[in-house]
Chains A and B, each alone.
Chain A
Amino acid sequence: MSEEKKEREPLFSSKNLKLLKEPLNMSNPITVQVLGICSALAVTAKLKPAVVMTLSVIVVMAVSNVVISLLRNGIPPRIRIIVQLVVIATMVILVDQVLKAFVYDVSKQLSVFVGLIITNCIIMGRLEAFAMSNKPWPAFLDGIGNALGYGVILIIVAFFREFLGSGTIFDIKVIPQGFYDFGYANNGLMILPPMALITVGVIIWVQRYRNRALIEEN
């Protein structure tokens, strides 16, 4: 109790900053906690949908974390999953309507994956593990941090897939025409779904090589 009172001091105390930074690397939702893989892979053929997806997840995650954290003392434990799903689904409907209204073409590309944010395990997982037992402000930071950690992987994967697969970044051509004249060709395989998996596999490889603590036994 006394510790909670002290937290009054600065909004960005080192403990709170840790909530924001940890998920970017040491407890990254995708590569370490293995949450929310489904949507991460499907929207990464191009950078633009990946960025839009990241923003949507940040919004849904931050708001639903705060809402659940505010309600945490009023939710009967037995029906908490339904309550969480309702909060998330409401947020996702809002985000979906906004996307349809302002960036219709991206919303078409994302197709069912906006809806699938509802079952994105990152959100459920963090609500269950963090927001249910913490105050709104840390829950908000935790939401932003985890959504950013998710977004970082999404953007790295999308960058490589778009760069190698179509030779563009944000639909702007970056590989000079001269290369193509010399016989350079875009790697069409990178656009296909299986390469997303392999790219993530390689990212995990690199990350664990640098952070020995994360290596699994077996």
Chain B
Amino acid sequence: MQEIFNIFIKSIFIDNMVFAYFLGMCSYLAVSKTVDTSFGLGIAVIFVLGITVPVDYLLNEHILKPGALAWLDPGFADVDLSFLSFILFIAIIASMVQLVEMVVEKFSPALYASLGIFLPLIAVNCAILGGSLFMQQRDYQSLAHATSFGLGSGVGFFLAIVGIAAIREKIRYSSIPPALRGLGITFIITGLMGIAFMSFLGIKL
């Protein structure tokens, strides 16, 4: 239990998707103009990461890993399908996003209205595929570990994007050298935020 919680905290602060691995940068830069929209995108990312990482974990454990197919027949024990993981993960993500979109539309039209436009965007967000690939690389031991990693990474992305959106809303009123306006200053601020987040490196979990 303790360890699961540790993974959660670690993936939010220490291995933050945006500041430590630069994942999901494209949508991070494109959708962070106002706090409202970035809030919506952040929630959608938590949602989708929380679903796709566990599903991809099961897929990896029972189909892709070397020897994972042993449950089918002992003869398959030395089959290694891990080279297929990219294509399967991306297929799972694309279909999960579609599924989530339909479910949300059916059961919570209000949430759908606020997430609506962001859900399809998320299918090609590197943070989502990155979450699954990191999960595969780090070889978590149980479904619960993988789920808490997925949720934690989502929360980390959420914090980062809402933070930068708040800063960008304020910074509109300051005078920035013309050539640095817009994209340039956003990069530099993200860098500074990243340095601030590095102070969490000292936490030993």
A interface vs B, CB < 8 Å? Answer: 31, 34-42, 81-82, 85-86, 89-90, 92-93, 96-97, 111-112, 115-116, 118-121, 124, 192-198, 200-202, 204-206, 208-209, 215-218
How many CB-defined contacts (below 8 Å) exist between A and B?
A: 139
Within 8 Å by CB of A81, from B86, B123, B180, B191, lies B123
Q: Residues of B within 8 Å of A, CB-based: how many?
A: 49
User: What is the interface of chain B mostly: helix, strand, loop, or mixed?
Assistant: helix
User: With A34-B30, A118-B90 given, is the CB distance from A42 to B21 under 8 Å?
Assistant: yes
Q: B4 to chain A: closest CB distance in Å?
A: 22
Report, nearest first, the 8 A-B pairs whose CB atoms are least far apart: A194-B194, A216-B182, A201-B187, A197-B191, A198-B191, A112-B133, A37-B25, A201-B188
B161 proximal to A (CB < 8 A): no
Q: Which residues on B sit within 8 Å (CB–CB) of A42?
A: 21-23
Contact among B126, B134, B182, B198 for A119, CB-based, below 8 A: B126
CB nearest to B195 among chain A residues: A194
Residue pair A112, B26 in contact (C-beta under 8 Å): no
B86 x A93 contact (CB < 8 A): yes
Is B130 a contact of A37 with CB atoms below 8 Å?
no
CB pair A37–B178 under 8 Å, yes or no, is no
- Contact: A34 with B183, CB < 8 Å? yes
Q: Judge whether B86 and A205 touch: CB under 8 Å.
A: no
* A194–B198 touching, CB < 8 Å: yes
**A218 lies within 8 A of B182 (CB):** yes
Identify 27 residue pairs between A and B in the complex whose beta-carbon atoms are under 8 Å apart, listed by A's number: A38-B25, A85-B91, A85-B94, A89-B90, A96-B83, A96-B86, A115-B133, A116-B23, A116-B126, A116-B133, A118-B90, A121-B26, A121-B126, A193-B19, A194-B193, A194-B198, A196-B22, A198-B192, A202-B184, A204-B180, A204-B184, A205-B179, A208-B179, A215-B181, A216-B182, A217-B181, A218-B182
Interface residues of B in 1-44 (CB under 8 A from A): 19-26, 29-30
CA distance A116 to B191 in the complex (A): 21
Of residues 167 to 196 in B, which have CB atoms within 8 Å of A's CB atoms? 172, 177-188, 190-195
Please, which residues of chain A bring their CB within 8 A of the CB of B20?
193
